[in-house]
Amino acid sequence: MTSQTLAQELLSPETSPPVIEKLAFVTRQTGQDTMVLLSRALDLGLDLLYRQSAEQAFIDEAMPREQAIAVLGPERVEEIEYAKQALAQDIARGLDL
């Protein structure tokens, strides 16, 4: 995606509401500089994407448990392990029917 295409998408009225309106709203509400807000948004967005990628890597067994705990925290790792175990049990029960 080119920067011009990205800019057009961000300003598009099809985005609800367009990113520029969201940014203007947050700027008005917080009184913070636009560049500070964009920096925070980028940081928050990358953190979310990083955590989602780490979760998927752990689920796919491409990330060791210790590393997943360091990235996601022990509670989230336990939740994922429980969900994987429950899914495996459900599949096993379904195959036994």
Tell me, what DSSP letter sits at residue 17?
A: S
Give Dmax over CA atoms of the chain in angstroms. Answer: 61
Mean pLDDT is lowest, of 11-15, 60-64, 79-83, for: 11-15
Residue 65 lies in a domain: yes
The residue range of the domain holding 87 is 51-97
Identify the band that residue 13 occupies on the pLDDT scale cut at 50, 70 and 90.
low
- Count Cβ atoms below 10 Å from residue 81 Cβ, excluding itself: 14
Residue 19 lies in a domain: no
Residue 88 lies in a domain: yes
Is the pLDDT reported for residue 15 higher than 60?
no
Tell me, what DSSP letter sits at residue 2?
A: -
pLDDT the model gives residue 95: 86
Residue 80 lies in a domain: yes
Residue 79 lies in a domain: yes
Residue 91 lies in a domain: yes
Structural domain count, the chain: 1
Residue 33 lies in a domain: no
Residue 38 lies in a domain: no
Which residue is associated with the tokens 């939740």?
79
Residue bearing the bigger pLDDT, 83 or 6: 83
On the CB side of 85, how many CA atoms lie within 13 Å of its CA?
6
Read off the pLDDT of residues 47-64 as tens digits, 9 standing for 90 and up: 999 999 999 999 999 999
The closest of 75, 77, 49 to 63, measured between CA atoms, is 77
Tell me the CA end-to-end span of the chain in Å, nearest whole number: 49
> What would the mean pLDDT of 29-56 be, rounded to a whole number?
97
Which residue is associated with the tokens 């057009």?
8
